[in-house]
Structure 1
Amino acid sequence: MIAFVVGVVPAVLVGQWIAGRALEPVDRMITEVREITDGRSLHRRLVVPMERDELGRLAATLNQMMTRLERSFAALRRFTADASHELKTPLTVVRAGVERAITRPDLPQETLASLEETLQEVNRMTELLEALLTLARADEGRADLHKEAVDIREIIEEAGETGELLAEHAGVAIEIHLPPEPVVVPVDRSRIRQLALNLIENAVKYTPRGGQVSVELGSHDGRVVFSVADTGIGIAPGDLPHVFDRFWRADSARTRTSERAGTGLGLAICKWIAEAHGGTIEVQSRPGRGTTFTVGLPRSEH
């Protein structure tokens, strides 16, 4: 019995060691593929082993597939950018015509209502095209940031003032908490304002009348942190992983019936703005309790 154990245990250990060594290239390949398929690294390729064995052929095949994917995604981004750009001019012409028609004093009420509804949809389409252009430029690395040292309290306060107007109209209370001392951060003022305003608008939109939105600026672990919290009905746990996906929209039951649907791109743009500044954006939500978006930004350039 002892001889059997003495003989088997080393054999098992040696077998495990050999299997581990044999599977190391496979593990490395799996890790590389995961890193490449994050959607932003399709330009990278797997290292093809010198030996033209099964692993070498697999790596070469995967590289060919990723080349085709990279070309397809590049073509899709170009189409999105070109189509959005080409549609801007016709929409501008349509909007100008509708705005001019609305000013006529002899319009029947029914016609006026139809024109106003048309203008709303034209504005929504314009907003969608601007968002598509922003994301297309970001994907191609052409969405430059114009950073400057800014007291970010000013940006949050500006966005908060706009949010207060929206909140008042929606019957929602809004509170803004800013620190007494300046919070100077190198950021693109217009982009950070866009991010803050998007989050505040979302919070107001998804908070029922009588609810509350809280905007807070502070710091944590050497980073500037600002959060937007609401007392809305929250987001279902199954939806949380998708809130930053493009064209994702919450269940219509979360919004007030009077609210028009958004473009489904606002939070995707927020995520891009935060990450382009070397920051992060996170969401926490509990159904029936509300939702909190938290943005963290570095205090200095990396």
Structure 2
Amino acid sequence: MSAHDSLFTEQGDPTPASRLNHLEETTRLALAALDQAAALSDFSLSLARLEGPDPLLDLCLERLAGLLPFTTLGVMLVDEADSSFFMARCSPPSALPGLQAFVDQSIEDGLFAFALREKRAVLAPVAPPAAGGLPRSRHLLHVVTTASRTRGMFVAEMDADAPNLSEVTLSILSIILNNTAQALESLFLHQRIQAMNSSLKSEVACLTSSASELKADRDSQVRLISEKSSELHEAMGRLEEEVKERKKAEALLAALNQRLEAKVELRTSALFRKIAEMEAANKQLKQLERLKSSFLSSVSHELRTPLTSILGFAKLIAKDFERFFQPGSGSPLASKAERLLRNLDIVEKESERLTRLINDVLDLTRIESGKMPWRNEPLSVFDVVADALMAVGGRRENRPNVDVRLELPASLPTAQGDRDRVLQVLINLLDNALKFTMEGSVTVRASVDPDAMMLICVEDTGPGISPEETEKIFDKFHQHDRRDTLKDKPEGTGLGLAICKHIIDHHGGRIWMEHAPRGGSVFCLTLPLATGEE
């Protein structure tokens, strides 16, 4: 038996009266479908008045509730960010947990994916009787899709003893959901077009206003220069010819003073207008910053997969080349083989560096957009510092002349914050200290400052940071100036300290850099103490 035959059967009745009732019911359902399609078309024609898909979904559920004997109805929509499904509407709302549980189960057993492919009504098998003697029920799934894009999934529940559904009823159900999908698609496209039009209008208006103001200022300056030149020539002639004209010159100067005051007042008004325009431009820049963060997050996610493939295949090629193709030491191809292995090693290292850059961009984008998950919990400074030192163990092995020291009092209280994020900050500070310190020491200190905050400092004896770089060291994409002996150091992403600053700011602390007394740098940060430790 096919999936469709197992879901719906139409029981025949040989009597004429039953056939007549069937025809009347079919006519009623067809008229109801036309009425619902017309209502959804009205929504499509009034998209400018809609702020979201909720009115469309409410109308769809209302129509379907009157069409079929459903006890529970719900509509799931596709999240544009990650293509996942979420329950947008449920009627009645109290049935949401049960309906969501069915959806989760249908995803596990493949029924949900089957409904997505079928693009028609799919009826789940009858569920066994529930505890407490509750009546049995069965569920219906129907994808909400257009010809080119899936917009969501309709989920409904009905009594297991409800009469079987006819093909006409199911066709009308498909028509209603297809019309709803078309209306949702039209709403989405309309909202995107409105946003693009609004942005273009703002930019055109700003450019037009700036051009007009520049032209007005230029004309005003030309007229003012011309007037001043003429007045100065006339005054010099009057002074040379007649002293008696002094009073007239004073009167003229008084008139000029009044005109200058008017000019000052005019310029003051123009300055206020400029301030208002700058505030509007600032709002636009914030919006562009949000768009940039969303774009960076999307591009970074898309780059991760090919980078992982490049890194994995480069390692696999190098391994297979050494095992099967590398010639012996006396072969004339030995030098070329070594060069190929060095090139593959460069590909691996550059892929790893680009992966770190993408991870840093993703972390920074999630923090700036407010999507970074945070866990606020008590944390031991001893454990976090120990884990950070273990994470930079490879860097420590490359610095045999650098001594790592810990100055952590035994009575140190517990701090409060996200352990993983604080660990990320300490790893970054320790890695930077070891990277730029060829010999000497790197010291980690911790104490409680006068403001009852946990103070953690990482001091190194490296070359230090110039005063002009101190204020820019926490800026995004800023890298320390590698001069002299630092030319051979690998470049970082320029995002590590910027991410550290965002993390510490989120915890209500602060992070800064000081110059060590004996040379080098000291990076300090503060964290709140755990509850009851103040």
Interval of TM-score (by shorter of Structure 1 and Structure 2): 0.7 to 0.9
Aligned with 1:96 (options 292, 312, 327): 312
Calculate the aligned-residue CA RMSD, in Å: 2.3
Distance of 1:255 and 1:64 partners within structure 2: 47
Displacement after TM superposition at 1:152 (Å): 2.0
Equivalenced residues, count:
250
Distance of 2:508 and 2:378 partners within structure 1: 15
1:62 aligns with 2:272: no
Give the aligned partner of residue 290 of structure 2. Answer: 74
Distance of 1:126 and 1:65 partners within structure 2: 35
User: Partner amino acid for 1:93?
Assistant: S
1:297 aligns with 2:517: no
- SS at 1:179 equivalent: coil
Distance of 1:156 and 1:223 partners within structure 2: 17
Give the aligned partner of residue 396 of structure 2. Answer: 167
Displacement after TM superposition at 1:75 (Å): 1.7
- SS at 1:216 equivalent: strand
Greater Rg, structure 1 or structure 2?
Answer: 2
Distance of 2:481 and 2:271 partners within structure 1: 45
| Range moving further from structure 2, 149-158 or 58-67 | 58-67
Distance of 1:287 and 1:257 partners within structure 2: 25
1:196 aligns with 2:426: yes
| Range moving further from structure 2, 60-69 or 83-92 | 60-69
TM-score using structure 2 length: 0.44
Distance of 2:465 and 2:272 partners within structure 1: 46
Displacement after TM superposition at 1:255 (Å): 6.1
Answer yes or no: is the 8 Å Cα contact 1:205–1:256 preserved in 2: no
Displacement after TM superposition at 1:62 (Å): 3.2
Distance of 2:406 and 2:461 partners within structure 1: 15
Given the superposition, is the C-alpha separation of residues 254 and 82 from structure 1 closer, same or farther in structure 2, using an over 3 Å criterion?
farther
Distance of 2:398 and 2:367 partners within structure 1: 34
1:125 aligns with 2:360: no
Give the aligned partner of residue 281 of structure 1. Answer: 511
Displacement after TM superposition at 1:64 (Å): 2.2
- SS at 1:242 equivalent: coil
Give the aligned partner of residue 187 of structure 1. Answer: 417
Displacement after TM superposition at 1:55 (Å): 7.5
Displacement after TM superposition at 1:59 (Å): 5.2
Distance of 1:260 and 1:163 partners within structure 2: 16
1:236 aligns with 2:452: no
Answer yes or no: is the 8 Å Cα contact 1:236–1:287 preserved in 2: no
Answer yes or no: is the 8 Å Cα contact 1:219–1:225 preserved in 2: yes
Displacement after TM superposition at 1:114 (Å): 0.9
Give the aligned partner of residue 120 of structure 2. Answer: none
Displacement after TM superposition at 1:80 (Å): 1.4
Distance of 1:62 and 1:178 partners within structure 2: 50
Give the aligned partner of residue 299 of structure 2. Answer: 83
Q: Deviations over 1:42-67 (max 9, x none)?
A: xxxxxxxxxxx768745542332223
Distance of 1:244 and 1:163 partners within structure 2: 21
- SS at 1:243 equivalent: coil
Q: Which has the higher contact order (CA 8 A, sep 6+)?
A: 1
- SS at 2:471 equivalent: helix
Give the aligned partner of residue 44 of structure 1. Answer: none
Distance of 1:177 and 1:270 partners within structure 2: 22
Distance of 1:258 and 1:280 partners within structure 2: 32
Give the aligned partner of residue 30 of structure 1. Answer: none
Displacement after TM superposition at 1:190 (Å): 1.0
The gaps in structure 1 that reach 5 residues or longer are: 1-25, 27-52
Distance of 1:76 and 1:126 partners within structure 2: 20
Given the superposition, is the C-alpha separation of residues 254 and 162 from structure 1 closer, same or farther in structure 2, using an over 3 Å criterion?
farther
- SS at 1:229 equivalent: strand
Matches within 5 A, 1:9-24: none
| Range moving further from structure 2, 76-85 or 178-187 | 178-187
The gaps in structure 2 that reach 5 residues or longer are: 1-267, 327-336
Given the superposition, is the C-alpha separation of residues 127 and 165 from structure 1 closer, same or farther in structure 2, using an over 3 Å criterion?
closer
Give the aligned partner of residue 440 of structure 2. Answer: 211
1:111 aligns with 2:340: yes
Distance of 2:484 and 2:413 partners within structure 1: 34
- SS at 1:74 equivalent: helix
Displacement after TM superposition at 1:241 (Å): 0.5
Q: Deviations over 1:69-97 (max 9, x none)?
A: 12222222222111111111111111111
- SS at 1:214 equivalent: strand
Displacement after TM superposition at 1:182 (Å): 5.2
Give the aligned partner of residue 498 of structure 2. Answer: 268
